[in-house]
A and B are shown apart, each in its own frame.
Chain A
């Protein structure tokens, strides 16, 4: 992973509403003064609860929305207000993977057409035959096969549809792919397949990924760096290890503590964060989190804390006045210790899934079982 910045947002703000002729609709401050950098080749995750503005931010980053204020720089170019041919070129370099593989694919187009469509737009020089070959390549890249090109989306399961969505996003040969909850609609076993696929793609194609998600396990697993959002602002950012293992912001800490996890025998359930996120139409003054923060002091209610690092050179930044006074909890989630035979079973499982040859032991060594053959 090289260190150069592919995407930079500076002071990006997005407000919705406030218009209307006779009655003004309420202004929703969806994204408020967000600055971030995504480096080439990395997987950058934006995490937060519903309504925190993470999807709006994603749409701003790829110029599906225009920011009310601030700038988005992609590959050295200001794209905040890109239009026309510039926008078409941008679409080639930046693609989107949607959450719901059921509603994001046109049911009346074959998979071949769905994946071929972005090629028609962005690679008009390809002949029909070349395009068909490229669609086949893309299908194989995402773990499907050539003959799937003639089928319709309804013939596929959720995981396969998400693969089609990914192939479609890859068709134009993008440098950066933004995934808005790309695996959250999928079952655990399927989700793992898609997570592995995205990991392989980012490695093999040198793709930069921006992942929007609410599942902290998924984010921890996939991402290099993380930004935590609360009510339209980034409250903490850093490498995944920094944010997850040594969270500084009380909101990040509360978020991590809310992840359901086994509790040791006899231990009471820990107290969880109370209350709910205030409405973005009326964000509280000062630190947006102060209404739910157990550590809030008077200053927190008046001025918004800046996102800042402890040392100038440090990448781990937090927007909290008092993070130094707040003990960082043991970030790593608890897990039930597995028995030794169970660990052996997990090792067997992994070995078998990764292509090892499964040998059934003769019945003699297994007292409870009758012979297999």
Chain B
């Protein structure tokens, strides 16, 4: 897709078998823009792991997931760099997408709004069976039997009746379960879930999170979950990538991220969240809003909203290790060593 390229020999070697997905230095720029929307994202998902990518709208989290799936429309963007390793095979994203036969098969995806992702004109059974037939072949009756098993697996009662129903007859939580059943149809190695519970009520959200947690335990699939909700992250993630402006600003095990956050953006997000145990008063905010991509500052992309930024932040910070696989991309991490605040 892009004209500049490196010889194949210089590409990173295959990944360790435990890694299901490894994305290295992924950069993507939309046509007609001068600034990369995703700017050097690297992440891994291993078997049975739930990696949560957390960030606000426009931070590039969905674009990253869509690119991994090869779902971005052709001709709208250029990949500037990035290698994708899936199950030990490496693809140079500048030249190729993930092979389509993996999509919906070994890599499955669920989306935020199950009503718009399901086809209103086909029954639930047909839609699950389609996914089975597409990748596994076999007869329609076999596929329907598989569809029924999947409905049971995702916790839908009266599966025989549900198979014949249409999406409009189902509640939001039920539709998301059907989406998950379709995603699981071919025993994927990797599940990409883009805000899977955002449209759901809190009691239904808890049920869907329970289901995803149970499935990764039973099947060992890796999960990459995109969310803006730090509560969901705290509840379900093993590892967390905090994104801002198309970059991962902090990455680490979930307990480290919450007990010992390093990046001012992570700290800001956590401060801005209303908490049940500390009600009232004013919330400490993150000032301003995410700049449009053309106005993204050079150097640290967060510096226009950061209370601690100075001239050094015009230089792009490198990830700084904070122990136990935890790193943050800030010149001044940890803040208490570098910053004082006078009243």
Contacts and interface: CB of A to CB of B under 8 A. Distances in A.
Contacts, number: 219
Interface string B266-280: 011111111111011
A356 to B, nearest CB: 4
B255 A336 contact: yes
A361 B255 CA distance: 29
B78 to A, nearest CB: 27
Contact of A358 (B172, B236, B339): B339
Interface stretch (B109-117, B139-147, B285-293): B285-293
Contacts of A326: none
Given A263-B235, A345-B267, A369 B202 contact: no
Nearest to A353: B284
A352 interface: yes
A193 to B, nearest CB: 5
Contact of A360 (B202, B232, B279, B310): B310
B339 A348 contact: yes
A22 interface: no
B310 A221 contact: no
Contacts of A257: 206
Given A188-B228, A372-B312, A351 B235 contact: no
B341 interface: yes
Contact of B274 (A221, A265, A350): A221
Nearest to B337: A366
Interface string A270-307: 00111010000000000000000000000000000000
A210 B268 CA distance: 28
Contacts of A352: 307-308, 339, 341
Given A192-B283, A342-B259, A373-B311, A222 B274 contact: yes
B203 interface: yes
B231 A261 contact: yes
Contacts of B274: 192, 195, 215, 217-218, 220-222
Contact of A260 (B172, B205, B258, B310): B205
A349 interface: yes
Nearest to A217: B274
B149 interface: no
Most buried by B among A190, A192, A337: A192
B282 A260 contact: no
B271 A350 contact: yes
Contacts of A263: 235
Interface stretch (B8-16, B19-27, B118-126, B328-336): B328-336
A199 B279 CA distance: 12
Interface stretch (B82-90, B97-105, B129-137, B207-215): B207-215
A214 interface: yes
Contacts of A358: 307-308, 339-341
Nearest to A183: B274
A49 B203 contact: yes
Interface residues of B, number: 70
Given A189-B285, A195-B283, A272-B210, A262 B258 contact: yes
A345 B334 contact: yes
Nearest to A52: B201
A349 B271 CA distance: 8
Contacts of A269: 210, 213, 235
A293 to B, nearest CB: 12
B279 A220 contact: yes
B230 A188 contact: yes
A360 B332 contact: yes
Contacts of A356: 341-343
Given A160-B289, A221-B280, A335-B277, 20 more contacts: A159-B289, A188-B56, A188-B228, A193-B285, A196-B283, A214-B201, A260-B235, A260-B236, A333-B275, A338-B259, A339-B260, A342-B261, A349-B267, A349-B271, A349-B284, A352-B339, A358-B308, A360-B310, A360-B338, A366-B338
25 contacts: A190-B56, A192-B283, A199-B282, A217-B274, A220-B276, A221-B279, A240-B279, A257-B206, A261-B235, A273-B207, A276-B171, A276-B174, A276-B204, A336-B255, A337-B259, A342-B259, A344-B335, A349-B264, A352-B307, A353-B284, A361-B339, A366-B337, A369-B337, A372-B310, A373-B312
